[in-house]
Amino acid sequence: MIYLAPIVAILLAGSENASTPVAEEDPRPNILFIMSDDHAWQAISAYGRPDGTRVNSTPSIDRLAAEGMRFDRFFVENSICAPSRAAFLTGCFSTRHGIPTNAESFDGTQPTWPRLLGEAGYRTGVFGKWHLKSNPVGFDEWGVLIGQGPYYNPPMITPEGRVRVKGYTTDIITDQGIEALRRFTAGRNEDGRPFALLVQHKAPHRRWDPNPRHFRLYDGVDVPEPPTLLDDYADRGPASTLQTMTIARHLDDRDLKLIAPPELDETQRLAWNAYYDKVNADYRAAVDSGELAGDDLTRAKYQRYVKDYLSCVAAVDEGIGRILDELDTLGIAENTIVVYTSDQGWYLGEHGWYDKRWMYEESFRTPFILRWPGTVPAGATSNLLAQNIDLAPTFLEIAGEPAPARMHGASFASMLEQGGTSMPSGWRDAVYYRYYESEGPHTVPKHDGIRTDRWKLIWFPEVDPDGDGPAGPGDWEMYDLESDPDELRDVADDPANAEIRRMLERRLEALRLQYAA
């Protein structure tokens, strides 16, 4: 089902004297790409935690999984916002798309899949979080948040300039996506052109400010803790002790909602205070009295953090439900590919952490669900070792367009078109990761590594294996994901694994060369 070229033919209806042209519809599918920010795969009930625990309910995202394919081993090339978003767009690693951290400005002149599809006849649009510093290029329509953007009353940049939109940001982005769907569908009805639409949420990124309708969503509920919430980082090298992203010590007063967001208008602030004033008074009293201390305080902070985070997820899920309903109402669901993903994974208390950045599974792996009615079987799952660099070449192949040679990723379109029953020919059996900034937020040390079906090898070039500082000769960590899925036992120095480690080191060096890293 690979389409060769846009088909926008003019037919003459009726007789020789007919003068009204009718556009024949381009048979290529519409593409709707929905991305959230920092959405842990564990916080999607279609995934859940590895032990089977479900921490929340996401019925709309679960609907996509039930009607499409859930990818269980989909990874990012660099687990922070801007690099991952650039990789999704360009099909390239940070070394080529030019965004290794959140500090750089994206070069919009380089090829991206929306731009190439636009040149091939698609209508294109992006609404929501962009986070690439430069303005979007190659889109017919766009409206994006400025930087990260707040949860309430966000200023946005459009081709006409800066505007401020009143309301809750997740709902605003959903509304803009639905309005664009209607415009693009009307356009396709007129001239037959398909569309590629990107709807990109800022939620559930820090600082997890819920919509008032969700303030009480988890009242009286104890969200299950991850088994490693109180991890002591034993049996591993020192790298994990160098971060500043623990729930116990590093959540601040804004994170815990002891301070209200500054963007609230008067009505929103009244609603906020009506809920959080009592919650905060009870929390402060318990801390001041010593009732909450030590591990009990960590557990209390976890509950406060995770409930706000999951409440933000609930708004995203509701928005996705509205969008899926709109596709049905417009009658275009059958010819529209829908993807749901996040720009990376996230720590939902695992190892005592929030945030991302690490090559450990919780942040390296990201949710990825794809629905393509009539092509991808409902309820399918995939263990393909795929990455965000693979999305661009996949969409291009589906549209019948060649992927530029500069793209590092590979297309898995053939797998989708064969019902997900077979691996694409010559597919990789290992993925590469690199994180670039030891002195960045949360002080996660820079590292890179390789992950295969079973093994993970990570190199921390600035970590002292015999001390507690980041300035050292470097340190290796290695994990057997089959026997140790929580990555609690570093086996890099286990003599029983010496040959496996040597093989992984050789393969890691080959991947560094392949990606110019």
Give the integer Cα–Cα distance in Å for 200 and 49: 24
Place of tokens 């480690």: 501
Structural domain contains residue 214? no
Q: What does the pLDDT read at residue 12?
A: 28
**What is the sign of the dihedral through the CA atoms of 513, 514, 516 and 517?**
negative
Range of the domain at 249: 233-304
> Does 398 share its domain with 418?
yes
DSSP H or E segment with residue 322: helix 294-330
390 close to 409: Cβ distance less than 8 angstroms: yes
pLDDT by residue (tens digit) across 198-237?
Answer: 999 999 999 999 999 999 999 999 999 999 999 999 999 9
> Does 294 share its domain with 368?
no
Q: What does the pLDDT read at residue 70?
A: 97
128 close to 141: Cβ distance less than 8 angstroms: no
Strands 123-128 vs 195-200: parallel, antiparallel or unpaired? parallel
Mean pLDDT of 27-35: 98
**What is the sign of the dihedral through the CA atoms of 256, 262, 263 and 268?**
positive
Structural domain contains residue 219? no
Residue 5 has pLDDT above 60, yes or no: no
List all residues 6 or more positions away from 418 whose beta carbon is below 8 Å from its beta carbon. Answer: none
> Does 423 share its domain with 436?
no
Structural domain contains residue 190? yes
Residue 18 has pLDDT above 80, yes or no: no
> Does 17 share its domain with 103?
yes
Give the integer Cα–Cα distance in Å for 351 and 442: 14
432 close to 456: Cβ distance less than 8 angstroms: no
CATH of the domain at 483: 3.30.1120
Taking each continuous run of H as one helix and of E as one strand, the counts in the chain are 11, 18
Neighbours of 274 (CB within 10 A): 11
Structural domain contains residue 4? no
Give the integer Cα–Cα distance in Å for 467 and 455: 26
Structural domain contains residue 505? yes
> Does 39 share its domain with 120?
yes
Q: What does the pLDDT read at residue 470?
A: 60
Give the integer Cα–Cα distance in Å for 134 and 131: 8
Strands in 323-410 per DSSP E: 336-342, 368-371, 380-382, 386-387
Q: What does the pLDDT read at residue 107?
A: 97
How many domains in the chain?
Answer: 3
Residue 246 has pLDDT above 90, yes or no: yes
Place of tokens 């993970």: 456
Boundary-marking domain end, from 399, 429, 459: 429
> Does 278 share its domain with 332?
no
The model carries a pTM of: 0.94
Averaged pLDDT score across all residues of the chain: 94
> Does 179 share its domain with 291?
no
177 close to 122: Cβ distance less than 8 angstroms: no
One-letter amino acid of 155: P
Structural domain contains residue 224? no
126 close to 139: Cβ distance less than 8 angstroms: yes
Residue 21 has pLDDT above 90, yes or no: no
Helix axes 266-289, 294-330, angle to 10 degrees: 150
156: three-class secondary structure by DSSP: strand
For residues 106-124, b (16+ Cβ closer than 10 Å) or e, as one string? beeebbbbbbbbbebbbbb
> Does 348 share its domain with 479?
no
pLDDT by residue (tens digit) across 299-325?
Answer: 999 999 999 999 999 999 999 999 999
> Does 250 share its domain with 357?
no
Boundary-marking domain end, from 374, 396, 429: 429
91 close to 390: Cβ distance less than 8 angstroms: yes
Token pair of 74, please? 């989909």
Residue 3 has pLDDT above 90, yes or no: no
189: three-class secondary structure by DSSP: helix
Structural domain contains residue 363? yes
Token pair of 491, please? 């086996």
pLDDT by residue (tens digit) across 372-406?
Answer: 999 999 999 999 999 999 999 999 999 999 999 99
67: three-class secondary structure by DSSP: helix
- Between the alpha carbon of residue 135 and those of residues 36, 146, 368, the distances in Å are 19, 10, 26
> Does 406 share its domain with 317?
yes
> Does 402 share its domain with 474?
no
Structural domain contains residue 77? yes
Boundary-marking domain end, from 404, 429, 454: 429
pLDDT by residue (tens digit) across 36-68?
Answer: 999 999 999 999 999 999 999 999 999 999 999
> Does 316 share its domain with 197?
yes
Max Cα distance, the chain (Å): 90
Percent share of the chain, pLDDT over 90:
91
